[in-house]
Homo-oligomer: A and B are copies of this chain.
Amino acid sequence: MTSGRVTIADVARRAGVSTAAVSKVVRGAYGVSAEMQAKVTQAIDELGYRPHAAARALRGRTYTLGVMLSDTRNPFFPDIIEGVTGRLGDTEYQVLLGPGGIEPKTQARMTDAMIDRSMDGLILISPVMSDAELAAIATAIPIVVVGRHGGAAAYDAVVDDDVMGAGLVVDHLVGLGHTRIAHITHLERARAQGLPHTVRAEGYRQAMRAHGLADDVLATSFTEEGGFEGARELLARDDRPTAIFAGADIAALGVLRAADEAGLSVPEDLSVAGYDNIGIASLKRISLTSVDQDGHVIGATAARLLVERIEGRSRSVTSSVSPTLIVRGTTGPPRR
């Protein structure tokens, strides 16, 4: 132990072979006899050798995949991450997460940082960047974009079918007898296209139109406060809606608070639905009707596509995951 770290040279010396041979064994490359395989594996075990990723990076793979998180606070990230790591659990790949923040600039910085750390591929979750920027990144490294609709040719994409999800909610509410159904969406300053909230709002409009109903979209923000403010405005109207569909559960929680404060009981006076089916939506005290996008499947799919891409596929793929509606206690027939 000269310097603490066991290198490939130490293993080679111990096994009485060349470093090149050890490298072959480690990588499972072609041209190794069974005997060589055994000798080297034994030496590796005895010495506790682990390949040094940085050194590897200089020539070949690094076996590291990065996941850029746009907003650490987003409650369904854990599901996606679990899906990713679950899928990769039995491979040699390791997953590292990069907190990218919500600004395009900080996200770009994080993406660069991950490229500089020579990761083999990147999964970008709901990135807030222009399509051009994404395409540029895709030339430097294989990427899979999660949560952006209209994926380009340069990269793979995994999306929740947000049009369908919004449709499920509207159909459900209309089925209960609602006609005045409002939608609260997120007001985005960044010039990014195909973000989930945009598509959800569009899906809502389509579904309302399909039922011959007038749409009513209010843009605040996907926060508890945003939902609260939006609902307060909607509920102050003369012909106030009998149902509010918030584009995100966190906003729906704000809607519930506004209903409480206005003395309206849910779902008798007001039905409320959200999107994302975050963990607390299922708590008895909340019991929020919501659209569930299977984060586990989304993450696993993204991981699969990325590995495929890294290992050679060149044709680009967009995978759409179907959401399901989870009906709970916050929606019911309108009081007539």
Contacts and interface: CB of A to CB of B under 8 A. Distances in A.
This protein's copies in its complex: 2
Contact of A96 (B51, B53, B54, B98): B98
B117 A53 contact: yes
A285 interface: yes
A336 interface: no
Nearest to A84: B99
A214 B103 CA distance: 52
A280 to B, nearest CB: 5
Interface in A73-118: 73, 77-78, 81-82, 85, 94-99, 101, 110, 112-114, 116-118
Contacts of A212: none
A34 B261 CA distance: 65
A116 B53 contact: yes
A149 interface: no
A191 interface: no
B72 A81 contact: yes
B117 A64 contact: yes
Contacts of A101: 85
A140 interface: yes
Interface of A: 4, 50-55, 57-58, 62, 64, 66, 69, 72-73, 77-78, 81-82, 85, 94-99, 101, 110, 112-114, 116-118, 140, 224, 253, 256-257, 260-261, 279-280, 283-286
Which 6 A-B residue pairs are closest in the complex by CB-CB distance? A54-B57, A97-B97, A72-B78, A54-B54, A94-B113, A53-B117
